[in-house]
A = this chain, B = another copy of it.
Amino acid sequence: MSLGVVLQVRDGVLQVLLWQRARAPFEGSWSLPGGYLVPDETLETSIRRHLADKVDVRELSHLEQLETLSDPQRSPQEWQLATAYLGLVPSELDPRVPSDTDWHPVDGLPALAFDHEAIVLAGRERLRAKLSYTNLGFALAPAEFTISELRDLYAAALGHDVSATNLQRVLLRRRVLEGTGRLRPPGPAGGRPGALFRFRKQTLEITDQFAVLRPPGPARVPVA
C-alpha cells in the first residue's frame, strides 16, 4: 500500500494532513492517508489517487518517495508493506479537506496508528535536509514572497530561527531566488515595502556542491 506524509506550513507552523480511521484496527485514531494499490498501478499513481479525496492533486507542489516499510509487526493483523511518500503544499493554499481529515502540527502530534508517527518524523527530516542543499523551498512558498515571509516559512519548517539577511544572500548567490521587480505594500503598521522574490525553478534541483567531491580545476561558475 501507499502512504502520504503531506506537509504544509499553516499559521506559521509545520503541519501534516491526518485522517481519522473509521475501522479497526486503531479505529478512531489518527493516521496517514493512503491505501491499497490496484493492479498495474504505479506507487506514485496510487498515492496520488488516494490523496485525491483529501487534497486536490494540483495543489501538491512536490511529491517524492520516502521509504518502504516492511516490519512484520508494523500492522497488528496482517503483514503489510507500505511505501511512504512526502508531499508538500504551498503555504498560500487552503485545500478543502473532508470532515474526517485535518491538519495537525508536526510538533505535538496525537497518538498515531501503526508506525505512522515515525513516518511523519522521517518526512520532516527529509524536508529539513533538502531545504538546505536543494531548492525545495519552492514547494513550501507561494509564487511570490518577501524575504521576511520566506524566512518565516524556513523557520517553521526547520524548527529554529533563520537570519533573513543570510537567507537572502545565500539563496541569491546560489541562484535559487530571483527578484521580480515588484514590491509588497506595507501592512497597517507601516514599514518599508518588501521586495518580492520568486524561486527560479519549480522542480527539484541540487544547489550545493561539496568540497571534496567537486571536480578540480580553476573553472568556477561565473557570478554573472
Contacts and interface: CB of A to CB of B under 8 A. Distances in A.
Interface of A: 37, 39-44, 65, 67-68, 70-72, 79, 81, 83, 128, 131-133, 154, 158, 160-163, 166-167, 170-171, 208, 210-213, 215-216
Contacts of A79: 39-40
A156 to B, nearest CB: 13
Given A161-B216, A163-B216, A216-B161, A211 B68 contact: no
Contact of A212 (B40, B70, B166, B216): B166
A215 B158 CA distance: 9
* Interface residue SS majority, chain A: loop
A73 to B, nearest CB: 9
B65 A211 contact: no
A49 to B, nearest CB: 13
A215 B161 CA distance: 7
Contacts of A65: 67-68
Contacts of A158: 213
> What's the number of copies of this chain in the assembled complex?
2
A123 to B, nearest CB: 15
18 contacts: A37-B70, A41-B70, A42-B71, A43-B68, A43-B70, A44-B70, A65-B67, A65-B68, A68-B68, A70-B83, A132-B213, A154-B213, A158-B213, A160-B215, A162-B212, A163-B212, A170-B212, A171-B212
A128 B214 CA distance: 11
Contacts of A170: 211-212
A199 B67 CA distance: 28
Nearest to A73: B40
A39 B79 CA distance: 8
Q: Which of A70, A154, A166, A210 has the most CB of B within 10 A?
A: A70
Contacts of A171: 212
Contacts of A43: 68, 70, 81
A162 B167 CA distance: 30
Given A43-B70, A67-B65, A210 B211 contact: no
A37 B208 CA distance: 38
